[in-house]
Structure 1
Amino acid sequence: MRIPVKLNVGDEIRIVAPSRSAGILSKEGFDQAKNRLEDLGFKVTFGKNILESDLQNSSSIEQRVQDIHEAFHDTNVKGILTVIGGFNSNELLPYLDYELIKNNPKVFCGYSDITAIGTAITTQSGFITYSGPHFSSFHMEKAQEYQTTFFKKCLMQSEAYSVESSPIWSDDAWYLDQENRHFEEANWKTYSEGSTKGPLYGGNLSTLNLLQGTPYMPAIKDCVLFIEDDELTIPETFARDLTSLLQVAGNIKALVVGRFQRVSKVTEEQLLFILDKHPMLKEIPVLYDVNFGHTQPIFTFPIGGEVEINSTNKTITFTKF
């Protein structure tokens, strides 16, 4: 798997909207995200169609594909960030020019619904993409330091590094109220102990499962699987979606589960009940309540990269990213 050229201070980052459009953001949020990326030393430019918004707060397939193709084709652009997630990035998959993308590998980062398009690019074009902050994520103020630190480590350096747990986490709708936030103590948790290494795939579980049966689904047998889900899941749907993915894989080397939003009602009791259903998960390293997904803060990880997991010591080390 190829690694895109890492970002450097002074590089141009293009913002595209493969899912929901930027029109869903407040002007304050838009400006603050742009300013924060510029403060990191990047030049920030925007796809021409990111403000177009239809009945479902998105834009046409043609408009979204055009912006992605232009971002990959433009030699001045060194990295691509998505505006935000949503529901429909998988609509684009048959219409992307994967040869164009393959011949112009560059950093592509987003999470949630962006799991579909990032994974498809990795599968079809043969280079690592990244599950990490959206453009809109840089609007967040509190807990931004953790998010930015591991964004930079993953996308701006080449040396292997380890991620540690954030000491705090939040489930607040921070984009509605930046001041009155509630944080709780955080730590990663071990379901089953062990250590292993291997290729990494994953992201948003329900979105990744949309790729099953298509050419865009990666071969996840013997991989380290990172999965999370959002507020729309419930214990029963998470359980069946996880089962489906494990059946597709056959065998995996490790499982890492992102922290759930409280509204999902996937409590620790429910999650342990679900994990207990699968004998294979008692035989491999499994971590949960890890800092990625739809709670804050999150770290960035490489789709198609390589990772070492030690669930006994609760360490995650990225070795190819």
Structure 2
Amino acid sequence: MRVPQKLSIGDEIRVIAPSRSAKLVKVRQTKTILEKLGFKISFGQHIFECDLQQSASIEHRVADIHEAFRDPQVKAILTALGGYNCNEILPYLDYQMIAENPKILCGFSDITALATAITKKCGFITYSGPHFSSFRMEQGQEYQLSYFQKCLMGNAPFPLTASKVWSDDTWYIDQAKRHFEEASWKVYSEGEASGQLYGGNLCTLNLLQGTPYMPDLANCILFLEDDELVNPAIFARDLTSLLQSTTQIKGMAIGRFQRASDMTEEQLHFILDKHPRLQTIPVFYDVDVGHTQPILTFPIGGNIYMNTKERIMQITKF
């Protein structure tokens, strides 16, 4: 798996909206924050279009993606926001052109579809991590920015550690009094494993089953999360579908659930207990990925080592 060129201070980052419109984001303030970090920010031509489903046309979203990959001045691509319809654009992308111009693509949630498809079809690592809109958040940003920089700007393998606090407040609208709670990673089953890393938003990843955009998950390590629209029964169904679609995985890390999901520790253990394989491989949960904040950045198609007994995870290829 190829690794895109790393991001450097002074590089141009292009913002695209392959799912929901950037009209929903406070663009000016977020652009200023990233410029203060030393980056040049540019925008796709169509990112502010907003139709009945708060998105742009397939044609225009594809055009912005193609332009971002073709432009030699653009060194990294950030998505504005997630949404519901990113998988619509997958059949219309020029994967040969994208493969010939590998570069950083980073986002999460619905962007799981686009990032995973590009990794599968083009043979280079993409990234599950902050959207452009995620940098609007001030409180909790230090942890998030640290892993964004380690993964997208560094070259040395690095350990993942748990954030000390977490928040369920909307990440792209920074409240004056953001509510934080104590955070820690938890262990469902002990063990250690190394392998290729895939994952992101569970319900979005499942949309790729049976398509040319779904990677082979055999012997991989999965990072999975879901948002406030999921509940324990839906998560159980979606997880079962994914596990039934592949041969044995080597490990799993499950992102922290939002309060609105009504997922409890008892419910999660009840769901995981249904799958005997998960009791024989390392499984973390309440990991800092997904729709609570702050979040890690991890490489889709990269490599990871995990040891749940020692509570260690280390990104080794990214």
TM-score range relative to shorter protein: over 0.9
Q: Distance in 1 between matches of 2:198 and 2:228?
A: 22
Whether 1:31 aligns to 2:31 is: no
Whether 1:207 aligns to 2:204 is: yes
Whether 1:196 aligns to 2:193 is: yes
Give the letter aligned to residue 16 of structure 1: I
Q: Distance in 1 between matches of 2:224 and 2:296?
A: 13
Q: Distance in 1 between matches of 2:208 and 2:171?
A: 31
> What runs of 5+ residues in structure 1 fail to find an aligned partner?
none
The superposition leaves residues 48-97 of structure 1 with CA deviations (integer Å, 9 ceiling, x where unpaired) of 00001100110000000000000000000000000000000000000000
User: Which residue is equivalent to 2:96?
Assistant: 99
1:300 deviates by: 0.2
RMSD: 0.8
User: Which residue is equivalent to 2:263?
Assistant: 266
Whether 1:233 aligns to 2:230 is: yes
1:173 deviates by: 2.7
Percentage of matched positions with identical amino acids: 63
Q: Distance in 1 between matches of 2:278 and 2:190?
A: 10
Contact 1:141 1:178 in 2 (8 A): no
Runs of 4+ aligned residues of structure 1 deviating over 2 Å after TM superposition are 173-177
1:183 deviates by: 0.6
Choose the corresponding residue for 2:275, options 274, 278, 283: 278
Contact 1:174 1:181 in 2 (8 A): no
SS of match in other structure, 1:113:
helix
Whether 1:218 aligns to 2:220 is: no
Q: Distance in 2 between matches of 1:204 and 1:74?
A: 29
Give the letter aligned to residue 236 of structure 2: A
Choose the corresponding residue for 2:110, options 113, 119, 136: 113
User: Which residue is equivalent to 1:21?
Assistant: 21
Q: Distance in 2 between matches of 1:31 and 1:136?
A: 11
Q: Distance in 1 between matches of 2:174 and 2:142?
A: 18
Give the letter aligned to residue 296 of structure 1: Q
User: Which residue is equivalent to 2:175?
Assistant: 178
Contact 2:133 2:172 in 1 (8 A): no
Within-5 A mapping of 1:53-202: 53-176=50-173, 178-202=175-199
> What runs of 5+ residues in structure 2 fail to find an aligned partner?
none
SS of match in other structure, 1:141:
coil
The superposition leaves residues 290-312 of structure 1 with CA deviations (integer Å, 9 ceiling, x where unpaired) of 00000000010000000000111
Q: Distance in 2 between matches of 1:60 and 1:174?
A: 26
User: Which residue is equivalent to 1:12?
Assistant: 12
Q: TM-score, normalised by structure 1?
A: 0.98
Q: TM-score, normalised by structure 2?
A: 0.99
Contact 2:190 2:308 in 1 (8 A): yes
1:268 deviates by: 1.1
